[in-house]
Amino acid sequence: MERLNKLIKCGLAAVLAAGMGALSSIFPVQRTYAQTTTATTFIDKYKSDVKKASSKYNLYGSVMMAQAALESSWGQSQLTTQANNFFGIKGAYNGQSVSMSTVEYNSNGQMVNTTANFKKYPTAYSSFADNGATLRNGTSWDPKYYSGSWKENAENYAAAANALTGKYATAPNYGTSLINLIQTYGLDQVFGEASATSSSAASSSSSSTSSTSSSSNTTSTATSASPLATVKYYHSSGSDQATLSGKYKKYYVYNHIKGASRSEKKYTWQSLGVKKPVSVYLDMRGVKQGTSGSWYRLRFYQNTKAKKFWVYSSALKFAPTYYGTTSGRLTPNLKSNQAIYNHVSGTPQLSKTVTKVKALKATKTGYSVDKTALQSSKSGPILWYRVALGKKKGWIKGAAVTSYPASVAIANANLTKVIVKGTDSALLFDQAVKTGNMQKHYKLAQTSLKVGTKVVADKIGFKIQDHSIWYRITIPGTHNKYWISSKSLS
């Protein structure tokens, strides 16, 4: 069922009520006279309509009344007062709807403000009856989706309420909240239903089994009858790493790619013990049909048997990697235990192992290369070369190479840099592209460059001998390009 997740203007009280219900099972909630009066008025006003609708569909009237109270904030929500919509149900009723602001989560699991249409009913009874019809008729893909709430299948109201957890609503304490309302206001007696002597125990059991995590921050989200997303998956070796991005908290973590499974559950980072950006391991990428963004399956430990979760790409930050075209040949260290990958490891494509370096055969001329890459890391650039391996090609780390195609590895870039203090005596160089040898030109102080001058770097150079980093910059206002040490730039 499509329903209101978090309605800013008219459902905030209902959301708070759901949280209060969970707390009341631990700490007794002291309700004010005004709260009790509002509840009593609501019950007296609508009990006849609820009894009629629940009897028609053989449902528990206490559960329907508790749902209406919780979802509509005892009839005071804007959606209820303007549209007789007591359950936050989206869509149109006999062509009638109202548009309201709401906070929801998009297909990438990011919280966004949006506007949605909600059913507008001519009477309160029509809202209760529509809710009853929904629970009785289920979804387009499963007519018995809510069958656990039917009287013939639920021995008491507690069982019916718990059967709605993770199905009708996403909150893992949804059944608990309904049961608390029923018990607090004696709704089972209002509708002449048998008491559920073990309702508290049943509530606790359902709450713990409806989620794969014991945390209240774990939520089942598979409530919509919309078709599941089609996903194309790309497996990797599982050794790729990334870090959580600065905006990772804006995204949820899932047990499946969002929208791709009926058993989808979402988690907050806090519930997983993550309080700051950390490094994670990735072993799979998924792209939903009709979208361009990627989802990644991650784990927090190197052990491949560690629990895995899915996140959208924006929650991750990959190490900046710069590529360049090169030529020549290299000699691999055949004693190295490192792998050769189809992609540079730790990039958004993720990587698969092509072969092991030690599995290569020794040759007099080495292996030809056609591309190079420089990948940022805390300890300095990581050098990669793409080598020809018969009909295949693969990326090998410079650390697993004994002889190189050139003394300087060069990659393309597009970076803005700034000249820093204390570099007046720095030297600018030109270079011979084929050999990578840098030739002295003149001092920085002899140019128009000054401290604080912004320059654009279109190439990065990595000297094999001393591991120094160089940038090729353009002198502002000219077409002159020169190489300068990274020490002169910020």
pLDDT tens digits, 393-411: 999 999 999 999 999 999 9
Summary mean pLDDT of the chain: 83
Confidence grade of residue 203 (pLDDT, cut at 50, 70, 90): very low
- Name 316's bridge partners: 244
Beta strand residue intervals within 294-356, DSSP E: 295-299, 309-312, 316-317, 321-325, 329-332, 339-341, 353-356
Cα 2 from chain centroid (whole Å): 21
pLDDT value at residue 226: 64
pLDDT of residue 419: 92
Q: What percent of the chain has pLDDT over 90?
A: 60
Is the distance from CB of 440 to CB of 483 less than 8 angstroms?
no
Rounded to whole angstroms, the Cα distance separating 133 from 140 reads: 13
- The residue length of the chain stands at 490
Decide if pLDDT at 111 tops 80.
no
Tell me: pLDDT of 102 over 80. no
User: How does residue 110 score in pLDDT terms, banded at 50, 70 and 90?
Assistant: low
For residue 173, what pLDDT is reported?
79
Beta-bridge mates of residue 103: 6, 113
Helix (H) or strand (E) holding 55, with range, is helix 33-56
Q: What pLDDT is attached to residue 233? A: 94
pLDDT in tens, 210-234: 223 323 345 555 444 568 889 999 9
Which pair of tokens denotes residue 426? Answer: 């720095």
Query: Residue 1 pLDDT > 50, yes or no?
Result: no
What is the distance between the alpha carbons of residues 75 and 49, in angstroms, rounded to a whole number? 14
Q: Note if the pTM is more than 0.85.
A: no
Q: Which of 404, 369, 371, 372 lies closest to 388, judged by CA?
A: 369
Q: Six-digit token pair at 331?
A: 């000699």
| Rounded to 5°, angle at Cα 59 from 56 and 62 | 115
Which of the residue ranges 41-55, 156-170, 218-232 would you say has the lowest mean pLDDT? 218-232
pLDDT for 473 equals 92
Q: Say yes or no to pLDDT of 4 above 60.
A: no
| pLDDT band for position 194 (cuts 50, 70, 90) | low
What gap in Å lies between CA 23 and CA 6, rounded to an integer? 19
Rounded to whole angstroms, how far apart are CA atoms 401 and 170?
A: 53
Please report the pLDDT score of residue 246 as a whole number: 95
- What's the burial of 112, exposed, middle or buried (CB within 10 Å: 0-12/13-18/19+)? exposed
For residue 102, count CB atoms less than 10 angstroms from its CB and return exposed for 0-12, middle for 13-18, buried for 19 or more: buried
CA 235 – CA 71 distance, rounded (Å): 42
Q: What angle do CA 339, 337, 326 make, to 5 degrees?
A: 45
Cβ within 8 Å of residue 430, ≥6 positions away: 438, 439, 441, 482, 483
Higher pLDDT among residues 472 and 197, named by residue: 472
DSSP summary character for residue 226: S
CA dihedral of residues 251, 254, 258, 261 (deg, nearest 10): -170
Strand 469-474 with 481-485, pairing: antiparallel
How much is the average pLDDT of 95-116? Answer: 75
* Res 196 pLDDT > 90: no
Pick the residue with more confidence: 116 or 429? 116
Phi and psi at 414, nearest 5°, equal: -150, 80
- Cα–Cα distance measured from residue 134 to residue 94, given in angstroms and rounded to the nearest whole number: 15
- Whether residue 266 has pLDDT greater than 70: yes
Answer yes or no: is pLDDT of 304 > 60.
Answer: yes
The pLDDT assigned to 37 comes to 59
